[in-house]
Structure 1
Amino acid sequence: MDMHKLDGTGKKRWGWGAIAGLTMALAITAPSIAQNVQNMSLGRGFRDDPATMKGTAGGRVSLASIAGITDNCRGFANTAPNHTVTLTDNFPALDILVRPDNINDDPTLLIKGSNGDILCADEEGGGRRPQINSRLVKGSYQIWVGSKTPNQSFNYTLSLSEARQK
């Protein structure tokens, strides 16, 4: 199907139907674009502490299989990480906390560092808020926020701070 129209000069021009079809196609693909990894770069003494990012947790792949270990990596997420955080300095302590938007949702957390570090959390922050407080070295960290149940999804806020969060 030709999405162009010939104008009076014999040149092809986009017709309104083609523009509407293109707009519809973009609208349909927009949600998959919105699920791309969110990136953040942090150095020591970063402003707006805690730094936050929002996302949607959950998926069908076990965090243990993504991590390549079975110890303390519970939950399910998508294969792609929810976030990538690049640390431009070594952090003697960085506190990473997941707060679900709905208190009844039960998130889990996996962090994989470019240096091979693997950190997992499940409710260590008390209640239903997984939390990791750890020394982290300069580098890139992929972060997955999972759900306890496969294919369950919910919204959350990921919070990173140089101080212990409650």
Structure 2
Amino acid sequence: MNVSKIGHSNIFNLGWGALAGIAITLTNVTPSFAQSTLNLGRNFRPDPATLDGNAGGKVSIASIAGIADNCRGFANAKPNHTITLTETFPLMDFLIYTGNINDEPTMLVKGPNGIVICANGEAGGRNPQASRRLPKGIYQVWVGSKNINHSFDYTLSLSEIRQK
């Protein structure tokens, strides 16, 4: 009888050990759709603040935005970044940089009170840029590509002054 208790106890301990190992393994897995978050107040440093990510996807940015006006390209369904502005900014400048001239990035920013900002590189160069007064609140940013399922790395630069 003692032998069966010892055997059962060992199986139980191995079971918990295995479960702990699985839990540790699962916590170390980063999903490909993970987004980064950033909180900004006025006069933040360093300025510009930068966030890196991977652009592209298969969902139409116009469908995510809910409008078609200048909302071009394709992104993932989930936003790449969530940015919380803790104060109203007289000017917030969003600028996307890529390392390859053929990447053709696009950008969508959705914020409180129905704010929708779309940008692509057609207006003032190849890097999408949007500058405007923004109230405090939570903003979601999608970075896409003009071509469906075209993936590439980028840097999102955020500044209180218009960037060049």
Give the shorter-chain TM-score range: 0.7 to 0.9
2:110 alignment partner, one of 109, 112, 129: 112
- Residue 155 (structure 1) aligns with: 153
Output the amino acid matched with 2:70. Answer: N
Q: Say if 2:144 is the partner of 1:146.
A: yes
- Residue 131 (structure 2) aligns with: 133
Specify the SS of the correspondent of 1:65. helix
- Residue 42 (structure 1) aligns with: 40
CA contact (8 A) 1:98 1:157 kept: yes
**Structure 1 segment 24-103 matched on structure 2, within 5 A:** 26=26, 30-32=29-31, 34-103=32-101
Offset of residue 38 of structure 1: 0.9
- Residue 13 (structure 1) aligns with: 13
- Residue 22 (structure 2) aligns with: 22
Offset of residue 30 of structure 1: 2.2
Output the amino acid matched with 2:127. Answer: R
Output the amino acid matched with 1:148. Answer: K
CA contact (8 A) 1:97 1:125 kept: no
Aligned residues: 158
Q: Which runs of 5+ in 2 are unaligned?
A: none
TM-score normalised according to structure 2 size: 0.85
TM-score normalised according to structure 1 size: 0.84
Aligned partners of 1:133 and 1:143: how far apart in 2? 14
RMSD, matched Cα: 2.7
Offset of residue 31 of structure 1: 4.3
Identify the range of structure 1 (95-104 vs 46-55) with the bigger mean alpha-carbon deviation. Answer: 95-104
CA contact (8 A) 1:124 1:131 kept: no
Aligned partners of 2:89 and 2:5: how far apart in 1? 63
Which of the two has greater helix per residue? 2
Q: Which digits, 9 at most, give the CA deviation of each residue in 1:42-64, with x for residues without a partner?
A: 01100110001111101101000
